[in-house]
Chains A and B, each alone.
Chain A
Amino acid sequence: MLDAALSALSGFADPGMLILLGIGVIAGLGMGVLPGLGGTAAVGILLPFAVALEPQQSLPILIGAVAVVHHSDVITAILLRVPGSASAAVVMPDGNAMAKQGQAARALALCFVASMVGGVLGAVGLTFSIPIAEPLVLSFGSPELFMLTVLGISLAALLSQGNMLKGLVSGTLGLLIGMIGAAPAAAVYRFSFGSDALLDGIGLIPLALGFFGLAEIAHMVAKKSAIAERIEVGGGWLQGARESLREWKMMLRGVIVGMWAGVLPGLGATAGTYMAYGQAAATAKSEDRKKFGRGDPRGLVAAESAANSVEAGDLIPTLLFGIPGGAPAALLLGALLAYGIQPGPQMITDHLDIMYTIVWSFAIASVIGSVVCFFLAKPLARLSFVPFQYLAPGLLLIMFVASFSDSGQFGALIAMLLLGVIGYVMKETDFPRAPLLIGFILSVPMERYYFLTDSLYTTGEWIQRPFVLVMLAILVTPVVIMVVKKVRSGRGAKAGTSGSAADDSVHAAGEATAKHPAMAGTATTTSGAGVSVDPGGSPRPLSDGHLASAGADGPAGASRGGSAPEDPPADDEGNLNRTWWPALFGALVLVAFAGALVVSQDYSSRARLMPELISALGIVLTGGFLIREGVAIARGRRRGTLWNLELSQTTVAFGWLVLFIVLVNFLGFTVAALVYVPLFLWRVSRMGVLGLSIYTVAAVALLVVGYLYGNIDMPAGTVLPVLPFLQA
């Protein structure tokens, strides 16, 4: 075994091999930077070249690309608040908080080092887990996977950043959005309303890009500002590197979580990254925890080391069982098949050399990728000082292309835009957005493993499985601790001052009404559907979150409770928070849940259970939230702002996005870009003719090259095809 490892390593003494690996790394980094494009696009572009080579040469190219995608996807997330990939959304709050203070280089350096460590340790883990992978994977059945998804969803509470009830509404809404499309346990397409584009639900890429990216672009274009408020790149990059190495324990934990998420089928990189971040936040001391989301290096380090080790973990089921965990791994599998190499246990017996070529490629690529990123960190950090209206058109083109090539559906662009509007409103009304993303990605896996668990085991059987018990304990322990704390602090708080106590009691009242009817509501629907729901089911994150709020909600609530309603929003507060808007948005969400409940009555029993439970839960939570807001409005604690300058400006910015989609619909992508980019630069960015022309030519030329040679698909228009000059 060692022989094979060393002989595979000696292959990399050949500069040719390193060059091939370098090609892969550059493609991976390049695609990783572009929002929405990632491993799939990189491997897709490289594949035609790669299959022309021998496996020993082509694997470094492909693995090189897969290994570094999550190195560079944080760049736009940190600098522009547009996630390079869905999993990069995890580092956005912390990375951004740093960038805002002019410490972008520090944040980037933290991430790059963590990426490298994650990649290298991931490769090491890959080597050692090969012999034990089969028993490990077999020890995790449907009940364990179900519990894991529940555990993941309960993170929604942890990531609510002091807005517990809002966070839970957001998470539940995510669960509901995740249910659009084919039901996992019945041949039913849910909530597709006859639209082809919705048959498969909303893609992760349009969701992440629209919900975070477009929302940000519209907002920043409206404000005509740059991300960084202070111009000081500083010597942050060395500081960041040193800091991340100091957090080696956190990185190690991130790697372990990431590896597991990769090894287990059906979870994916984004869930794994959130879980790593969640465990970092959950295990932090409670007074420390509120730093998470506000520029905590530990969160960045844990998330990034996990994001990269997920890809390594992913290779285990891909190579040993032929079960790829994600699209890039699936493409890699395809490449192996093209060489006549079938995944399976014989990979170890017959193709050990290939296995080790993969392992080494992964490790070496991670190092090269980080070094490259490191050199780029300082110059890249300046991006955060560039006013957004200059960056916007280019970013928009990339995001819409990525979103379209993900599904091949024009409808994806519309969905992305709508999610952008929702994302913007949620951002400005201080609804935490991370819970929605988590709910969305875990919605279908949770439902799938619930039904598999339910039909393969009796409740008594599966609830007693050791891993299930462990995860139950992880879920329940914080709740118990919080109950104890809450009871104790509840006695102390009676002596508290009027302002904060009043606000807190409103909170508590809202949450109490939310909690108990939620349980009751779920229970009745459950018995109605005739299927048993385990005690760790959907109600769990609610109660968990409810209690976790004692820690996180307290200080934030107190500081806000003291301020008069007429005060302008605080620095890190949404423009529309403490106005009528949260209630308005809540009412809309309530309507959505109610509508979903009505629509789901038509589905067969196995397709109906989860949407029913989730919408009932959503109705209760949103109802509770509305009551709380109503009380606050009645007591004059909400500003009467319904419209302001910033809102008008953002509406105009969204109008520009609509214009682009309309143009694409008629003119096809490249011609639309040709018309739109100069128009935007002229009207919005007020760019000079020279700059405008160069920008447009460069952007459109890149699109054309990408379409012709990069195999990147773009939408054709109803009037014109993608490249009309071809037909002329």
Chain B
Amino acid sequence: MFNPRRRRLLAGACALLATSLAVTACSGRKTASGSEAEVPSSVQLIVPFSAGGGTDTFARVLAPALEENVAGNPSIEVVNREGGESITGTNQFVSQNPNDGSQLLVASATTTYQWLLDLPQVKYDFTKLKPLMVTGTGGVIYASKDSGITAVEDLKSPPKQLSYGGISATGLDLSALLAFDMLKLDPEVTFGFEGRGPARLALMRGETNLDYQTTAGYLTQVQPDAEAGKVVPLMSFGVLDENGDVVRDPNFPDLPTVPEVYEQLYGEKPSGDAYAAYVAFLAAGFSYQKGLWATPETPEGVRQAFIDAVPALKKSEEFEKERTASLGDYPVYAGPEVAQALDKAFNVPDSVKQYVFTMLETKYDTEIQ
């Protein structure tokens, strides 16, 4: 069915094709040559979240700033590998990494939370991954006017049953849940909202009366309502200083932090597992929420090139504008600056983890398999 002449023609066509492919390919992405430590000419930022989300936006603004400021000006492309609360993409990042610096990870709180909670699907380890750049955000807990709460003192015996709308117990909500737990608040919690936005709308409709928003969301969406007296700002989550202590959020200097409120309500500084758990998840969830990470096998020279770009990054107008718009005004750190703090934050003692598991199971019927 296949005469020799035709076969030769076919082979010729294939050869032609292969050449054309190779030519197109080479003109597009040049491969790195020379020493191992050189930054590859094209770098993928793996975002384990879907396009358009907060982390994706962050990565997309980060990409051009890195292209400009990393030695060798690599071309940088954002690749979304969403799924399974960012576990899928991050697993893939660690297991199928060329380890030459051509794949870096942009992780967020959700990613670290799944690991801190020892979820069985997680195959990555943030104490092994290398931070190149880290930045964070904050958040504010507030109540609706309906709740009857006028000041934090009312929290000790709330005039009405408090009720809070969450997304899922193992996501960023956990920080709020740990804050409630530490303050011995007992709100009715409903999970299943699609995001913080819909949860805020539920509060505006009077379906819930207690909510938190991250800094950017709070400043644009809640602040006007707070000024109009429709909602009552209560406390900020606070930020971590160099010693790992919770201090006031520079974006909300007038709001007490969660530990401060504890002191106000109970007359002593918070301590013990509840406090330790709060601090651990505050670090992962807010203070060091967004990070650029490399696998430990990535050559040190390549990692250093990205770390060295951080000071210039901070001067990039576009990056700064976007960062403050989406996260609020929080410091940007080069990896090594916070390596120790991250180490401390991420080495959560087993007893604290156990405390969190018990709280999730007893209060929220969430069992971590």
- Write the residues of chain A forming the contact surface with B, with a CB cutoff of 8 angstroms: 40, 44, 47-48, 51-52, 137-138, 141-142, 182, 184-187, 189, 196, 199-200, 265-266, 317, 321-324, 327-334, 337-346, 407-409, 448, 451-452, 455-457, 604-606, 670, 674, 678, 682, 689, 692-693, 696-697, 700-701, 704-705, 708-709, 711, 713, 723, 725-728
Contact = CB atoms under 8 A, between A and B. Distances in A.
Nearest to A336: B325
Given A187-B366, A199-B83, A337-B325, A678 B205 contact: no
B340 interface: no
Contacts of B195: 323
Interface string B292-321: 000000000000000000000000001001
B21 A265 contact: no
Contacts of B6: 689
Contacts of A342: 216, 219-220, 325-326
Contact of B21 (A338, A451, A700): A700
B153 to A, nearest CB: 27
B197 A322 contact: yes
B138 to A, nearest CB: 15
A479 B120 CA distance: 48
Nearest to B119: A187
A448 B18 CA distance: 51
Given A330-B51, A448-B192, A726-B31, A697 B82 contact: no
Contacts of A345: 221, 224
Given A196-B84, A327-B51, 7 more contacts: A138-B205, A186-B191, A334-B52, A338-B322, A342-B325, A457-B207, A726-B29
Interface string B83-95: 1110111010000
Interface string B323-339: 01110000000000000
B321 A339 contact: yes
Nearest to B189: A455
A344 B79 contact: no
A199 B88 contact: yes
A340 B201 contact: no
A728 B23 CA distance: 12
B207 to A, nearest CB: 5
A200 B84 contact: yes
B192 A701 contact: no
Contacts of A708: 24-25, 28-29
Interface in B226-243: none
B17 A697 contact: yes
Contacts of A266: 194, 198
A142 B201 CA distance: 10
Contacts of B321: 338-340
Contacts of A678: 10, 13-14
Going nearest first, the 8 A-B pairs with the smallest beta carbon separation are A330-B52, A334-B57, A199-B84, A323-B197, A344-B220, A708-B28, A693-B13, A342-B220
Chain B at the A interface: SS class: helix
A345 B193 CA distance: 22
A137 B198 CA distance: 10
26 contacts: A141-B202, A182-B84, A184-B192, A186-B191, A187-B170, A196-B83, A196-B88, A265-B198, A321-B200, A327-B52, A331-B52, A332-B52, A333-B52, A334-B60, A337-B57, A342-B220, A344-B220, A451-B192, A457-B207, A697-B17, A701-B20, A704-B24, A708-B25, A711-B78, A723-B29, A725-B18
A44 B51 contact: yes
A343 B205 CA distance: 20
A141 B191 contact: no
Given A141-B202, A187-B170, A199-B87, A322 B217 contact: yes
Contacts of B26: 725-726
B192 A338 contact: no
B260 interface: no
B31 A727 contact: yes
Nearest to A670: B21
Given A678-B14, A689-B9, A186 B366 contact: yes
A340 B325 CA distance: 5
B60 A725 contact: no
Interface in B83-121: 83-85, 87-89, 91, 121
Contact of A704 (B25, B60, B87, B219): B25
Contacts of A182: 84-85
Contacts of A606: 365
Given A697-B17, A700-B17, A704-B25, A187 B56 contact: no
Contact of A138 (B16, B81, B197, B201): B201
A604 B165 CA distance: 20
B129 interface: no
Interface of B: 6, 9-10, 13-14, 16-18, 20-22, 24-26, 28-29, 31, 50-53, 56-57, 60-61, 64, 77-85, 87-89, 91, 121, 163, 165, 168-170, 188, 190-195, 197-198, 200-202, 204-205, 207-208, 216-217, 219-221, 224, 318, 321-322, 324-326, 365-368
A711 to B, nearest CB: 6
Nearest to A324: B52
Residue of B80, B85, B121, B216 ringed by the most chain A CB atoms within 10 A: B80
Contact of B83 (A51, A200, A711): A200
A456 B164 CA distance: 10
A650 to B, nearest CB: 23
Contact of A604 (B81, B121, B322, B365): B365
Contacts of B21: 670, 674, 700-701, 704, 725
B220 A48 contact: no
Contacts of A682: 10
A409 B50 CA distance: 13
A452 B52 contact: no
A693 B16 contact: yes
Contacts of A199: 83-84, 87-88, 121
B324 A340 contact: yes
B205 to A, nearest CB: 5
Nearest to B63: A48
A97 to B, nearest CB: 36
A704 B321 CA distance: 35
Contacts of A604: 365, 367
Given A184-B192, A338-B57, A709 B25 contact: no
A334 B62 CA distance: 12
B84 A697 contact: no
A44 B81 CA distance: 14
Contacts of A338: 57, 60-61, 318, 321-322, 325
Contacts of B207: 141-142, 452, 456-457
B318 A697 contact: no
A697 B16 contact: yes
A340 B190 CA distance: 33
A407 B83 contact: yes
A432 B163 CA distance: 43
A185 B191 contact: yes
Contacts of A711: 77-78
B77 A265 contact: no
A404 to B, nearest CB: 11
B142 to A, nearest CB: 15
A544 B205 CA distance: 31
A262 to B, nearest CB: 15
A709 B24 CA distance: 11
Contacts of A693: 13, 16-17
B230 to A, nearest CB: 12
B192 A48 contact: no
A559 B132 CA distance: 72
A322 B64 contact: no
Contacts of A324: 52
A189 B60 CA distance: 30
A354 to B, nearest CB: 14
Contacts of B224: 344-346
A418 B17 CA distance: 32
A137 B88 CA distance: 34
